[in-house]
Amino acid sequence: MSGQLLSSKIVIVEEEPKVRGIPSVPTSVAGAVGLTERGPIGEAVLCSSFDEFQTKFGGFTPDSDLALAAMGFFENGGSQLWVVRTTHYTDVADPASATAVRAAAFLVAGSGPTPGVLLGGAAAPFVLRDGDMIRLAVDGAPEADAVFNGSAAAMAAAGAGPYALADGMDLTLRIDNGLEQTVLFSSADFADIANATAAEVAAAINAVIVGGRATTPGGIVRLASDTEGTASRVQVTGGSANAVLAFPGAAAVGGGNVANLRAVEVAEVKAVVEAAIPTVEVHAGIGSTFEIRTVATGPAASVRADVATAAAFALDNALHTGSASGSANAVRVEGKDPGAYANRIEAEVRAATNGDPGRFDLLIVEDGAYRETFSNLSMNADDARYVERVVNDLRTGSIYVRVIDQLLTGAPVPPPQSAALAGGNDGVVGIDDNDFIGSEAGKTGLHALDQVQDLSLLLVPGRATPAVHNAMVRYCEVDRDGSVFAVLDPPANQSATDIVTYVTTTAALENLSEFAAIYWPRVKVLNPQKSVFGSAEQIVVPPSGVVAGVFSRTDSARPGGVYDPPAGIDAGRMFGVLGFETDEALEERKRDLVYPHRINPLTTGPGLPRYIDGSRTLKGDGNFPYVAERRGVIFIERSLKQGLEFARHKNNTEGLRAQVRRTITAFLLAQMNNGAFRSREPAKAFFVDVSEQLNTPTVIFAGKLIARVGLATNKPAEFIILRISQDTRALEESLAQG
């Protein structure tokens, strides 16, 4: 009797809504990549205030464009900033190759039998050659070798020259998973390009590529990486010249037992040595050094490095023996994050506050000032106050250090002592554009933001280079499918003509994309810390943080604020800005020079605030060429994409298509009332088409539902034109009366 009503009753049936509500997505969630004093590397961390930024990433440093940008962002109304700290990577595809180093120190305690310990005198990364070794005599046994190997990736052209090249042919290749490099062959570089010799081709390649080289064994062009090891890789990715040279399509990879013989890390030393000599252990020392300990303990334990050991490790050749008892490293205290900041930190041990001799207090001191105290700690792993559990707690633990129990026998308690951390390094030596751009495979640089689903603004404060700017545009438009907008800084010390040259020629940004805008010039702000930036009252900083903050403030000023241009003396006002890097920004004729090239000036005037005086994206001939217009459409597209999820995998019926049309229309009506469009009449403001003409049987059978949406977006009033003439009405009236 299913479905039959057996007695009189009131039945409630909830119907599916004919119009679905579409939630508004956030529009001003910013992401920034740069250098900071401390903080996790290659990880996106959300900060909702500048105080929170300082807690997580530290204060100002000489390289702290990101800290200055964060200050400007929050001061101008920003509320959500995802921060990615970068450093130099030996391979951006490998996050573990970050070169920043934690500072460290050891707290010692009395223990039982100790191992023989051989201390390394040099810090990683170690520069080795193929076949370099560590040769050890352990516990009186014969010497054993741990050998380090690495070979370079290499590939050869299909045959010997001459090669029938032509002027303008190119070859694209990638070395060690880096950025794609292009070699352009020109007739000027050859005696006869149609009969190019192997030596000429190799010379043309070597004049361009970075990280590799071309040689000519047997008259055949051979490409090789400069890296020797498993990270070595060479791949010819294309180019018209490869039809002649015929390099293999598959990548050539290096070999060995380390990633790069020229930059061997402590973890690799540990893996190679412990695999070859199981009677020792390799432990990380202070500041990327290492120590070799015997597995055995007591007076019979011993270790000695032979003179055949590679000099790069700086291991002495003395015999190091264990003892029946003595002091040993009990707790390793190291920077919570890699970086030189922790070189200013001391770890101080005091007797326990509660007087228990089986416990101790740990105090963290920075530059002589006590910052943190952890009381009544235990070395017992089962205790609630176990030193690792308390100090390393993610919520209530230290913001400066982390600790690692060295697991001494008997878990002895460290006596009162003080240990200064040392060996920390920020890893900025050798830093380049690739470290900011990063790698999708390694989730480094820009790609550390891949997991931030609500990201809508992108900035890389102070790294104003063609490579970074083009990568930012590509990330917003391609990698994030047009859902993110980039705010680009100008390079330093740019006059009006300089910035025009940069945008039109050097970086080729003009008309590149609607998903980015560039602002000029850099701005002056109050010096936030004279001990870092010198005695000047004002300093010059990149404007992207300030500009992104203005975006955020405008977005939140009213419902539909994202549709308002973040420019002009009201919406475009910049708080905290005291002046500009160049006074050319104050000259109308200089602004007239830059604005036609889609460079947004920052300026002021008599009685006016300092404000953004431009609202153009980089591209003028696209669908939505203005900042607010493009960002408004991004908001609408993202909201619709999220709000129409309900329709996926439902039967593609006329009823479903009608529900989709009603849902889109209802959302756009709300946006119309929020000022999204040029008209407040729906028929003039937008259209929504989910008709049978679009959704033919062929389309439906392909599993698709097509909706076409047209938007009459707003255009800003960039120019106010006043037509002024003599008032001749009285004269004309008099003449008319005769």
CATH of the domain at 550: 3.40.50.11780
In terms of phi and psi (left: phi > 0; alpha: psi -120 to 50; beta: otherwise), the region of 204 is alpha
629-666: per-residue pLDDT in tens? Answer: 999 999 999 999 999 999 999 999 999 999 999 999 99
Rounded to an integer, the average pLDDT of 45-57 is 97
Are both 276 and 389 inside the same structural domain?
yes
Alpha-carbon span 201 to 191, nearest angstrom: 11
Per the structure, the complete domain to which residue 321 belongs is given by 104-149+263-420
Are both 443 and 485 inside the same structural domain?
yes
What DSSP line would sit under 584-644, residue for residue?
A: GGG-HHHHHHHGGGTEEEEE--TT---EE---B-S-SSSS--BHHHHHHHHHHHHHHHHHT
| Assigned domain for 649 exists | no
In terms of phi and psi (left: phi > 0; alpha: psi -120 to 50; beta: otherwise), the region of 202 is alpha
What is the chain's alpha carbon radius of gyration, rounded to the nearest angstrom? 33
What integer best gives the mean pLDDT of the chain?
A: 93
- Tell me: cis bond preceding 162? Omega within 30 of 0 counts: yes
Helix (H, G, I), strand (E, B) or coil at 152: strand
Rounded to an integer, the average pLDDT of 240-262 is 94
pLDDT band at 233 (very low <50, low <70, confident <90, very high): very high
Which pLDDT score is estimated for 591? Answer: 96
Residue 189: give its domain's CATH number.
2.60.40
| Assigned domain for 96 exists | no
**Is 17 a residue whose pLDDT tops 80?**
no
Are both 157 and 139 inside the same structural domain?
no
Residue 165 neighbours by CB under 8 Å, 6+ apart: 185, 190, 193, 194, 196, 201, 241, 244
Are both 181 and 292 inside the same structural domain?
no
| Assigned domain for 638 exists | no
Helix (H, G, I), strand (E, B) or coil at 664: helix
Are both 128 and 188 inside the same structural domain?
no
- Name the domain boundary from 226, 256, 286: 256
Residue with tokens 């909830």, as numbered in its chain? 14
Residue length, the chain? 738
Are both 452 and 550 inside the same structural domain?
yes
**Is 426 a residue whose pLDDT tops 90?**
yes
Residue 347 is inside which H or E element, if any?
A: strand 345-351
**Is 312 a residue whose pLDDT tops 80?**
yes
Rounding to the nearest 10 degrees, give the CA dihedral for residues 290, 296, 299, 300. Answer: -120
Alpha-carbon span 459 to 457, nearest angstrom: 7
Residue 290: give its domain's CATH number.
2.60.40.4290
**Is 1 a residue whose pLDDT tops 80?**
no
**Is 521 a residue whose pLDDT tops 70?**
yes
607-611 long-range contacts, CB within 8 A, separation 24+? 608/569, 609/569, 609/573, 609/574, 610/523, 610/573, 610/574, 610/577, 610/578, 610/579, 610/580, 611/567, 611/568, 611/569, 611/572, 611/573, 611/574
Which pLDDT score is estimated for 729? Answer: 79
Are both 487 and 578 inside the same structural domain?
yes
| Assigned domain for 650 exists | no
| Assigned domain for 18 exists | no
278-292: per-residue pLDDT in tens? Answer: 999 999 888 789 999
In terms of C-beta density within 10 A (0-12 exposed, 13-18 middle, 19 or more buried), how is residue 504 classed? middle
Q: What is the pTM of this model?
A: 0.79
What DSSP line would sit under 47-86, residue for residue?
A: ESSHHHHHHHH-S--TT-HHHHHHHHHHHTT--EEEEEE-
Which pLDDT score is estimated for 461? Answer: 96
CB contact at 8 A, 297 and 290: no
Alpha-carbon span 103 to 401, nearest angstrom: 9
Are both 719 and 596 inside the same structural domain?
no
Alpha-carbon span 132 to 341, nearest angstrom: 34
Average the pLDDT over each of 100-109, 238-247, 281-290, 400-409 and give the range with the smallest value.
Answer: 281-290
Looking at the 3D structure of the chain, how many domains does it have?
4
| Assigned domain for 3 exists | no
Residue 117 neighbours by CB under 8 Å, 6+ apart: 291, 292, 293, 294, 303, 320
Are both 282 and 406 inside the same structural domain?
yes
**Is 386 a residue whose pLDDT tops 70?**
yes
483-518: per-residue pLDDT in tens? Answer: 999 999 999 999 999 999 999 999 999 999 999 999
Rounded to an integer, the average pLDDT of 332-360 is 96
Are both 468 and 583 inside the same structural domain?
yes
- Name the domain boundary from 629, 645, 674: 629
Are both 225 and 306 inside the same structural domain?
no
| Assigned domain for 109 exists | yes
Which pLDDT score is estimated for 4? Answer: 61
- Name the domain boundary from 372, 388, 420: 420
Helices (H), ranges, 291-396:
387-391
Are both 390 and 272 inside the same structural domain?
yes
SS3 per residue for 425-468: ECCCCCCCHHHHHCCCCCCCHHHHHCCCCCCCEEECCCCCCHHH
| Assigned domain for 98 exists | no
